[in-house]
Amino acid sequence: MNGILSLRRLRAMLVKETIQMRRDRVTFAMMLGIPLILLVLFGFAINTDPKHLPAALVAPTQDRYTRAIVTALEMTGYYHFTKVGVSEAEAERLISDGTVSFVVTIPSDFGRRVARGDHPQILIEADATDPAVASGAVSTLGTVAAQALRREQGASAPADQPGALQVVVHKRYNPEGVTQYNIVPGLLGVILQMTMVMMTSMALTRETERGTMENLLAMPVTPLEIMLGKVLPFLMVGAVQMAVILFAAKILFHVPFVGAMWLLLLGVLLFVLALVLLGYTISTLSRNQMQAMQLAFFFFLPSILLSGFMFPFRGMPGWAQAVGEVLPLTHFLRLVRAVMLKGADLTTVQPQIGALTAFVVVFALLALSRFRRTLD
């Protein structure tokens, strides 16, 4: 070999590496896809100050003062009254199952008390399981409501005059606005997804790389038995992780747990089963462990950004929410926060249980079909 550097040899090496990179389509797609995904998500989908949050109105009488306050709240851009004229019991159900973020209650004698100057009050109940969602809307409502009422009265007196409007704010489920109450339960889903999908996706790929897959195929077992043999051990790993996270949540962060443990365990079982089946499907698409890890990360990135874990779900545009609805983590976060912080029962979280069950069925069918098609 003559010389330290030869342009001809260097050119040959560059051609060889370029051809190899083009053949590794998964890695090449990741190099281009991840920057584009991050640019779109952070540029368009992420919003830390959500607007047009769904609200319910409990107002037995629709006098002009009530209408003025409701209109003023909607004009702020934070409140969108999707449920108007509901009863107190229905409003309680709507806020407990997450259908609305706020319940505005205006008493039946509100108009008479305004006319008499007898300290009229309105009650704003906010779902504070995610403090970031309620902070902006709560911070503006007192001043806005008082100004709207004064305009309707035609008065120019200051807001602190005797008999002025009193706004009572009740932050439900997290009165002190502790961020850990929202983040720590969400970490249960994030950690389970990160470990379950990645470990399972690399398990079958490792068998193929080491050449031991032929031994499995030569054994008198069916694809379903191979899949269950690969998947079930990871359910035990997920159970251990769940126990550690819940113990830390209670001891270190003092996160309340007001729901039923069996309901949380059911949700975790369905979630982990869906994840390991997804990881198994990814392994049938990968030629080596590096590709399996890349595909797992490609799924993990939008899940953590669009599920409502890091940023308010309702603050995202419609298309981003539509993408988030087809992610298992989104439904699991709703379930675990509803059970732990709200004490939700099976009826309340039934939509989330149904969605996780659907994910299990879909991923199981995909895993079995891909296994037969790629390994026959």
pLDDT digits (tens, 9 = 90+) for 31-45: 777 777 777 777 777
Average pLDDT value for residue range 45-74: 84
3-state secondary structure of 135: helix
Q: Which residues of 219-238 are buried (b: 16+ CB within 10 A; e: fewer)?
A: eeeebeebbeebbeebeebb
Name 93's Cβ contacts closer than 8 Å, sequence gap at least 6: none
DSSP lists the bridge partners of residue 171 as 126
Instruction: Identify the pLDDT of residue 158.
Output: 47
Q: How far apart are CA 143 and CA 156, in angstroms?
A: 14
Question: Could you give the percent of the chain with pLDDT greater than 70?
Answer: 90
| C-alpha separations of 322 from 99, 133, 138, 319 in Å | 16, 19, 27, 5
Instruction: Identify the pLDDT of residue 6.
Output: 77
For the chain, give the longest Cα–Cα distance: 102
Structure tokens at 234: 């990871």
- pLDDT of 29 > 80? The answer is no
- At residue 274 the predicted structure's pLDDT band, cuts being 50, 70 and 90, is very high
Q: How far apart are CA 225 and CA 207, in angstroms?
A: 16
DSSP 192-251: HHHHHHHHHHHHHHHHHHHT-HHHHHHSS--HHHHHHHHHHHHHHHHHHHHHHHHHHHHH
Question: Could you give the percent of the chain with pLDDT greater than 90?
Answer: 19
Mean of all residue pLDDT scores within the chain: 82
Rg (CA), the chain: 27
- In order of their start, the domains of the chain are 53-172 (3.40.1710.10), 180-375 (no CATH)
3-state secondary structure 6-74: CHHHHHHHHHHHHHHHHHCHHHHHHHHHHHHHHHHHHHHHCCCCCCCEEEEEECCCCCHHHHHHHHHHH
| Residue located via tokens 């030569």 | 218
Instruction: Identify the pLDDT of residue 159.
Output: 46
Q: Looking at per-residue confidence, does 165 or 255 come out higher? A: 255
236, 320 Cβ separation under 8 angstroms: no
Structure tokens at 317: 């545009």
- pLDDT of 342 > 60? The answer is yes
Q: CA angle 20-24-26, nearest 5°? A: 160
- pLDDT of 17 > 70? The answer is yes
- Phi-psi region at 160: left, alpha or beta (left = phi > 0; alpha = psi -120 to 50): alpha
Q: pLDDT tens digit string along 194-217?
A: 888 888 888 778 777 776 666 666
Q: pLDDT tens digit string along 97-149?
A: 888 999 999 888 888 888 787 788 888 899 988 887 777 777 777 777 777 77
3-state secondary structure of 3: coil
Q: How far apart are CA 104 and CA 95, in angstroms?
A: 11
Q: How far apart are CA 303 and CA 310, in angstroms?
A: 10
- At residue 156 the predicted structure's pLDDT band, cuts being 50, 70 and 90, is very low
Q: Which of 113, 119, 124 is nearest to 57 (CA)?
A: 124
- pLDDT of 154 > 80? The answer is no
DSSP 277-324: HHHHHHHHH-SSHHHHHHHHHHHHHHHHHHSSSSS-GGGS-HHHHHHH
Kind and range of the H or E element at 114?
helix 110-116
Q: pLDDT tens digit string along 316-329?
A: 888 889 999 999 99
Q: How far apart are CA 225 and CA 228, in angstroms?
A: 5
